[in-house]
Amino acid sequence: MKDRERKIVVVTGATRGIGRAISEKLLALGHAVAGCGRSRNQVDQLRHQYPDAIFDVVDVTEGPAVDEWAQKIVEKLGSPDLLINNAALINRSAPLWEIEREEFDRVVDVNIKGVANGIRSFLPSMLERGEGVLVNLSSGWGRSTSPEVAPYCATKWAIEGLTKSLAQELPQGMAAIPVSPGMVHTEMLESCWGEEANNHRLPAEWAQKAVPFLLQLGPKDNGESLTTG
């Protein structure tokens, strides 16, 4: 890949599911990838498998830790061309009133505050350069609702609003885009749908088309609610 075609991409929640599939496809295409996750074992596995990439243990809910990580990435690779805020949790399937306060808070902390931390930490370097795309992973449940996933729905609706508002604040030449991945067979989908999740694509298969789609996003897409298909 020519240097001018090689993009610097940051992916949160990169150790499993959609985040891992995105990271692995980007690396296969020759792009520079920095990813984070909470599992030391999974991060170590990715480091061993992809020594030319950067993978670190970072909890996106811890603002100072995300700041420190962003500084490291910008110093080593440069300002991201593409920031993908993917890290997310889903609540156990249950009516809202049966979801314990601690579980509700954790979903909000990761899915909303974690995204805000990623933006707050990486966006200044992107603004300084005047270029870059921020993709915040949304969901079909950020545009519709279902029973027993109220906390998750609330956070993904919040991501839609947060991202669209941010899009109005960015200078020309940049973009913030809420992107739904569609239906993908992940552990998260299994927790809601059980065996029915087997009817949908595995993350690696999904990434074959989704990653090229993400790479071609730009200012023309600013503020648009999109789906990878």
- Give catalytic residue positions: 152
Q: Distance (Å, rounded) from C-alpha 170 to C-alpha 26?
A: 26
**Kindly report the CA angle at 149 between 144 and 155, in degrees rounded to 5?**
70
3-state secondary structure of 33: strand
Backbone angles phi, psi at 102, to 5 degrees: -65, -40
Q: What is the CA radius of gyration of the chain?
A: 17
DSSP string, 100-116: -HHHHHHHHIIIIIHHH
3-state secondary structure of 5: helix
3-state secondary structure of 145: coil
Among 4, 55, 56, 57, smallest CA distance to 30 is for 4
The amino acid at 6: R
66 contacts 53 by C-beta, under 8 angstroms: no
